[in-house]
């Protein structure tokens, strides 16, 4: 994690300096003054290198004047906070091997300066817990960035809110990156308990609690594993603006409710997955990880809203006690489920948690996140998460927030009960079966299954299977866990704050 600081706009005397340059723009202000102090060297270098200031473009000048390094960073045409974040990411990536640097952020609003800082913080994230033999020259060194701005106090104030979101993203990335031998249901729940310090109210339900509630669908997934299941409920009661979101005696009023699939490892159960790529199934809990990071972000920035996060935590393993294909279980809703494929397990976890969430909390809106199907990757690749919803206004709000933060959603079809797609889930011996009739439209039939456990509440399902983990570095995301959805849902929630 890098330390972010702010200072009054001025020209640094030495060290490492990052200088944003707008697309096809001449150097102005402090940038022009710096160029003049260096005898026009910056302008000459830009011309020689055909540097146009396009977003993502960078140009390094080493040992120039009193400076060890000057980085010219393409700012593009920064008309939005998203573009300012991208600029920050570009700078952090380029300066990864520097210990500290100064960014001259003249000409930017306080909000844009904070956005530059946020982009840098998100891009600089690295999970180092298990690296013990890395060569010093291979390690990122960036520890501190100081942004020089016209209104540094205002920028720092804006940063306090952005920093809480960054911490939520980092919390999620850490959870999703952990191996399954370290992060199993009980350990996940234990880490959530640590969020109490932010003012969240945390409840953890163990196996006995879940059996008493009648969570037969969730427990069917967990019964093959030696690891005990958990469900955790996180409440933030910030609508009245109190510092402590746990305010005793008050219940959430018209809350936003977020539900996450938390399969800490998914072997497929008796319907065993192929060995190739099975190691990736440590992040089949990314939906729950996102809900955890989101709730941390809302509490960290003292969001003036009531919100509830619920996560179902299980490990799906094959054993003599595991659920068999063909078994029938009774869900918390009372509906019976014929389990034809034990690798379609995430929906079984969500079925109980979704029904419980709406029964207990009467949500204004309910959103679930899950790495639910490989089929969504076939359809959308790694550019969009799938969005399924029974409510057009909710779907539009989510898509708008996703576009603004660069976490894009693509709306997929969702049929009404009894119509095409939905009919494929009719069972010959139970109320519903957990898979459709074949491979076709697998992500759609999975969403249709979830809808069977939603009783008219405005609801959206985000299938994030293609977006939870990045195979390569992105603008704001290093290779690995992305925390997709934390920033999207935080921005979505801001639209309801009092």
Residues 74 and 153 reside in one and the same domain: yes
What is the per-residue pLDDT for 290? 98
Structure confidence by residue, pLDDT tens digits, 32-58 = 999 999 999 999 999 999 999 999 999
Residues 424 and 284 reside in one and the same domain: yes
Active-site residue flag, 146:
no
Residues 459 and 360 reside in one and the same domain: yes
Residues 262 and 382 reside in one and the same domain: yes
Structure confidence by residue, pLDDT tens digits, 474-496 = 999 999 999 999 999 999 999 99
Average pLDDT in the 453-464 region?
97
What is the per-residue pLDDT for 191? 98
Residues 144 and 259 reside in one and the same domain: no
Average pLDDT in the 162-172 region?
98
pLDDT of 210 strictly over 80: yes
Helix (H, G, I), strand (E, B) or coil at 264: strand
What is the per-residue pLDDT for 245? 64
Residue 302 lies inside a defined structural domain of this protein: yes
Point out the catalytic residue in the list 54, 273, 304, 330.
273
Average pLDDT in the 367-387 region?
98
Residue 178 lies inside a defined structural domain of this protein: no
Give the CATH number for residue 7. 3.40.220.10
Residues 196 and 153 reside in one and the same domain: no
Map tokens 């594993």 to a residue: 225
**By CB neighbour count within 10 A (0-12 exposed, 13-18 middle, 19+ buried), where does 427 fall?**
middle
Residues 31 and 126 reside in one and the same domain: yes
Tell whether the torsion through CA atoms of 89, 192, 458 and 429 is positive or negative.
Answer: positive
Minimum mean pLDDT range among 64-78, 186-200, 357-371, 401-415: 64-78
In the chain, how many domains are there?
A: 2
Structure confidence by residue, pLDDT tens digits, 240-270 = 765 566 666 789 999 999 999 999 999 999 9
Give the CATH number for residue 419. 3.40.630.10
Tell whether the torsion through CA atoms of 187, 315, 310 and 178 is positive or negative.
Answer: positive
Residue 177 lies inside a defined structural domain of this protein: no
Residues 225 and 366 reside in one and the same domain: yes
Residue 173 lies inside a defined structural domain of this protein: no
Residues 142 and 217 reside in one and the same domain: no
Structure confidence by residue, pLDDT tens digits, 4-23 = 999 999 999 999 999 999 99
Phi, psi of 218 (to 5 degrees): -65, -45
Phi, psi of 374 (to 5 degrees): -70, -25
Residues 317 and 372 reside in one and the same domain: yes
pLDDT of 79 strictly over 80: no
Q: How confident is the model at residue 437 (pLDDT cuts 50, 70, 90)?
A: confident
Residues 206 and 138 reside in one and the same domain: no
Point out the catalytic residue in the list 230, 302, 347, 487.
347
Of 157, 172, 192, the residue that ends a domain is 157
Distance between CA 285 and CA 188 in Å, rounded?
10
Phi, psi of 309 (to 5 degrees): -115, 135
pLDDT of 337 strictly over 60: yes
pLDDT of 166 strictly over 80: yes
Residue 221 lies inside a defined structural domain of this protein: yes
Q: Which residues lie closer than 8 Å to 496 by C-beta, 6 or more apart? A: 256, 305, 364
Rounded to the nearest integer, the mean pLDDT of the chain is 96
Residues 248 and 118 reside in one and the same domain: no
Q: Are 336 and 431 in contact (CB under 8 A)?
A: yes
Residue 163 lies inside a defined structural domain of this protein: no
Residue 462 lies inside a defined structural domain of this protein: yes
Domain residues for the domain of 143 are 3-157
Helix (H, G, I), strand (E, B) or coil at 166: helix
What is the per-residue pLDDT for 407? 98
Q: How confident is the model at residue 432 (pLDDT cuts 50, 70, 90)?
A: very high
Active-site residue flag, 273:
yes
Q: Who wins on pLDDT, 166 or 249?
A: 166
Residue 162 lies inside a defined structural domain of this protein: no
């Amino acid at each position: 994690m890098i330390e972010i600081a702010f200072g009054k706009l001025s020209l640094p005397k030495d060290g490492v300096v990052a200088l944003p340059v707008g697309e096809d723009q001449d150097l102005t202000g402090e940038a022009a003054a710096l160029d003049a102090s260096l005898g026009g060297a910056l302008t000459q270098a830009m011309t020689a290198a055909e540097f146009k200031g396009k977003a993502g473009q960078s140009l390094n000048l080493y040992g120039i004047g009193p400076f060890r390094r000057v980085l010219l960073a393409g700012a593009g045409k920064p008309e939005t906070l998203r573009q300012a974040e991208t600029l920050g990411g570009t700078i952090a990536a380029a300066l990864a091997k520097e210990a500290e640097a100064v960014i001259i952020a003249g000409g930017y609003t306080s909000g844009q300066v904070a956005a530059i800082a946020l982009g840098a913080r998100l891009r600089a994230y690295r999970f180092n817990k298990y690296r013990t033999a890395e060569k010093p020259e291979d390690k990122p060194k960036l520890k501190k960035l100081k942004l020089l701005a016209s209104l540094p106090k205002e920028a720092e104030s804006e940063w306090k809110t952005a920093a809480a979101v960054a911490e939520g993203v980092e919390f999620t990335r850490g959870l999703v990156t952990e191996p399954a031998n370290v992060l199993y249901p009980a350990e996940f729940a234990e880490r959530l308990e640590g969020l109490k310090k932010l003012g969240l109210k945390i409840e953890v339900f163990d196996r006995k609690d879940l059996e008493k509630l009648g969570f037969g669908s969730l427990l069917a997934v967990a019964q093959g594993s030696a690891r005990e299941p958990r469900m955790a409920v996180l409440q933030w009661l910030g609508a009245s603006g109190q510092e402590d979101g746990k305010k005793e005696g008050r219940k959430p009023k018209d809350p936003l409710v977020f539900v996450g699939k938390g399969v800490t490892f998914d072997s497929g159960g008796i319907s065993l997955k192929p060995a190739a790529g099975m190691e990736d199934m440590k992040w089949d809990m990314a939906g729950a990880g996102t809900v955890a990071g989101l709730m941390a972000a809302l509490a960290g920035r003292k969001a003036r809203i009531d919100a509830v996060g619920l996560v179902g935590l299980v490990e799906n393993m094959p054993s003599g006690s595991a659920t068999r294909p063909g078994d029938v279980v009774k869900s918390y809703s009372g509906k019976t489920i014929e389990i034809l494929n034990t690798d379609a397990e995430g929906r079984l976890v969500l079925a109980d948690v979704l029904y419980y969430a709406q029964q207990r909390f009467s949500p204004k809106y309910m959103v679930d996140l899950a790495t639910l199907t490989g089929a969504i990757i076939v359809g959308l690749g790694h550019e969009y998460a799938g969005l399924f919803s029974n409510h057009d206004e909710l779907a539009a709000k989510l898509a708008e927030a996703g576009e603004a933060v660069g976490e894009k959603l693509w709306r997929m079809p969702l049929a009404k009960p009894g119509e095409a797609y939905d009919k494929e889930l009719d069972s010959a011996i139970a109320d519903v079966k957990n898979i459709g009739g074949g491979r076709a439209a697998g992500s759609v039939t999975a969403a249709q299954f979830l809808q069977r456990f939603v009783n008219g509440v405005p609801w959206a399902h985000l299938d994030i299977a293609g977006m939870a983990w990045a195979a390569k570095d992105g603008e704001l995301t290093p290779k690995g866990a992305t925390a997709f959805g934390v920033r999207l849902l935080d921005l979505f929630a801001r639209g309801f704050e009092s």
